[in-house]
Structure 1
Amino acid sequence: MSAPATADRSFAIERIFGAPVERVFRLWTDPLLVAQWWGIRDCTIPHCVLDVRAGGRWRIDMLTAGGALYRNRGSYLEVVENVRLSYSDEPDPEIREWAGKPPGHSRHTVTFTPDGARTHVHFEVTLASVADRERLLALGMRGGWTQSFDRLEQLIGKGTNHAG
């Protein structure tokens, strides 16, 4: 796909985390650690299984403070340790926000770049269509990921005892 073909279906978030690449990558690939930061503010993760290898499946269930359960799942498309993760996200058709019309599969790519003792993370989501991008952004997808990254940053700030 050429850049113009995906640019109108994508959005990106950049963040610099105060930890080395190896640690940040582990925080994205160890299910016990992912369950501590993934999801929106005040949610819990009752189920987190990650088979981090190309072709491996992942599933993360997010339970909001209000009691709504969101099942997230997909498969890993590319895994380059300490460099890049790319995975599909397959929307749960039962989520009420879809009103019976779930969006298509999306591709999430996370790139980890060393910045001294810190790590620059480039997170890009490419949706199946322009309409899916507009719909998911309107539902707060960017804000949800920003909250996840805030939680990841807080976990890193707690030190190695809790954050790998």
Structure 2
Amino acid sequence: MTHAHAGSAVAEHELSITRLIDAPPAKVFRAWSEPQWLMKWWGPHGMTTPECEMQLWVGGLFRTLMRTADGTEYNNQGVFLEIVAPRRLVFTDAFRPGWVPAAKAFMTAVVTFDDEHGKTRYTARALHWNAEDCRAHEEMGFHQGWGQSLDRLVEVVTQQMPD
């Protein structure tokens, strides 16, 4: 097991994506933490996110409803574990609000927004409890899906959001 400063240790069952975004961290953080902006980019191409609820505090609800073109819906919910505006968001589906354990924990996400000369070094990490879930997430299309969401996020922060 790797021991390092909290948040910097590489998890055993981790998938991640990173990109330099031509927008300041505060703006990218807002696109992640304000539902009206998150709904514009959340999910891969061809999906919409018509619903998003956020209680932006530790233990607060984070819920999204994604819809495919054929109307299939995916309701995801969990809670925020850490919020350090505008640098870091951590959330998990392991709990529901009130620290009620979920039926099945799948992942914890650690999203960081590091300043690089006024731009944002964006990193999204998906940490899984076991190799099976990690492999399943990869086979579901983690890199493609999260990459397409990231393309959409970049478009929102560079072309749609006011400074």
Using the size of structure 1 for normalisation, the TM-score is 0.84
**One-letter code aligned to 1:37:** W
Q: Which residue of structure 1 lines up, in the alignment, with residue 119 of structure 2? A: 118
Give the match's secondary structure for 1:19.
Answer: coil
Alignment of 1:124-135 (within 5 A): 124-135=125-136
CA contact (8 A) 1:77 1:86 kept: yes
Gap change, CA 1:135 and 1:160, over 3 Å in 2: closer
Structure 1 residues not aligned, in runs of 5+: 92-101
More helix by share: 1
- The answer to whether structure 1 residue 50 and structure 2 residue 54 are counterparts is yes
Q: Which residue of structure 1 lines up, in the alignment, with residue 2 of structure 2? A: 2
Distance 1:103 1:12 in 2: 21
CA contact (8 A) 2:25 2:120 kept: yes
Give the match's secondary structure for 2:53.
Answer: strand
Alignment of 1:133-144 (within 5 A): 133-144=134-145
**One-letter code aligned to 2:16:** A
Distance 1:10 1:17 in 2: 22
Give the match's secondary structure for 1:42.
Answer: coil
Gap change, CA 1:6 and 1:14, over 3 Å in 2: closer
Structure 2 residues not aligned, in runs of 5+: 4-8, 96-102
Give the match's secondary structure for 2:86.
Answer: coil
Identity percentage of aligned residues:
31
Please, what is the CA RMSD of the aligned residues? 2.3
Distance 2:10 2:161 in 1: 38
Distance 2:57 2:105 in 1: 23
Q: Tell me by how many angstroms 1:136 deviates.
A: 1.4
Q: Which residue of structure 1 lines up, in the alignment, with residue 31 of structure 2? A: 27
Structure 1 runs (4+) deviating above 4 angstroms are: none
Q: Which residue of structure 2 lines up, in the alignment, with residue 105 of structure 1? A: 106
Q: Tell me by how many angstroms 1:11 deviates.
A: 1.1
Using the size of structure 2 for normalisation, the TM-score is 0.84
Q: Tell me by how many angstroms 1:6 deviates.
A: 6.0
